[in-house]
């Protein structure tokens, strides 16, 4: 998917090194070889003594608006209109992916996958899963087979030309489940006890809390 290259830097990709106050700012920050690229403008020079890259702050992208509209149309049974708006996202020149032609349950699955990729790193995935009640099998999955890059920053000073930079590869074994899904009551947050007391018993605590 071309969007992966727009979202992430992966290990070995040609890029720039930015120097801030004489030091590189992200020592030991990323061990998998992947880091975030989205919304950063790297038009500045390769090295300087201050921050020379900028970051866009996005409130709502047109692609998200199209996907929201497509989800509404799926819920209303207007699948043709839903596909049209999903495909508007997929057919933009920088991506140009094949049209979605799915129907029924498969269209729902394809839409959710498209949304997960398109809105990657935009803090919507957790809330989408809660809204769809689709957390099991998504939130509680283990980390599988990522390559871990171990950096050696020893030298006179990390980032100096005289410093030493080397790396070795290792594969992260399948980890334990990150956070077990304890039940559907997780889809609701607990009501603060102060609010329950102020309601004089009208409000009842959500199940499971």
Q: What is the pTM of this model?
A: 0.69
DSSP class of residue 5?
H
Closest CA to 172 of 192, 146, 153, 197: 146
Does 208 fall in a domain? no
pLDDT in tens, the chain (209 residues): 666 666 666 655 655 555 444 444 445 455 555 666 666 665 655 444 444 555 566 778 899 999 999 999 999 999 999 999 999 999 998 889 999 999 999 999 999 999 998 998 788 999 999 999 999 988 887 766 666 665 555 544 444 455 455 555 555 565 555 677 889 999 999 999 999 999 998 999 999 99
Domain for residue 126, yes or no? yes
Does some domain include residue 198?
no
In a domain, residue 36? The reply is no
State the total domains in the chain. Answer: 1
Q: Is 54 helix (H, G, I), strand (E, B) or coil?
A: strand
Tell me whether residue 164 is in a domain.
Answer: no
Q: Please give the Cα distance from 186 to 123 (Å, whole number).
A: 18
Quick check: is 174 in a domain? no
């Amino acid at each position: 998917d071309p969007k992966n290259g727009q979202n992430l830097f992966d290990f070995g990709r040609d890029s720039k090194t930015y120097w801030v106050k004489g030091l590189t700012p992200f020592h030991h920050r990323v061990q998998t070889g992947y880091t975030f690229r989205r919304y950063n403008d790297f038009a500045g020079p390769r090295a300087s003594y201050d921050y020379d890259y900028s970051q866009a702050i996005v409130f709502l992208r047109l692609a998200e608006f199209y996907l929201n509209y497509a989800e509404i149309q799926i819920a209303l049974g207007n699948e043709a209109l839903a596909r049209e708006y999903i495909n508007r996202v997929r057919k933009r020149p920088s991506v140009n992916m094949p049209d979605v032609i799915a129907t029924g349950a498969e269209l729902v699955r394809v839409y959710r996958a498209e949304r997960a990729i398109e809105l990657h790193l935009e803090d919507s995935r957790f809330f989408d899963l809660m809204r769809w009640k689709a957390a099991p099998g998504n939130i509680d999955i283990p980390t599988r087979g990522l390559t871990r890059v171990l950096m050696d920053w020893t030298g006179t000073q990390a980032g100096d030309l005289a410093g030493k930079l080397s790396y070795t590869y290792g594969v992260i074994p399948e980890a334990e489940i990150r956070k077990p899904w304890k039940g559907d009551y997780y889809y609701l947050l607990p009501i603060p006890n102060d609010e329950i007391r102020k309601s004089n018993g009208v409000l009842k605590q959500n199940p499971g809390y």
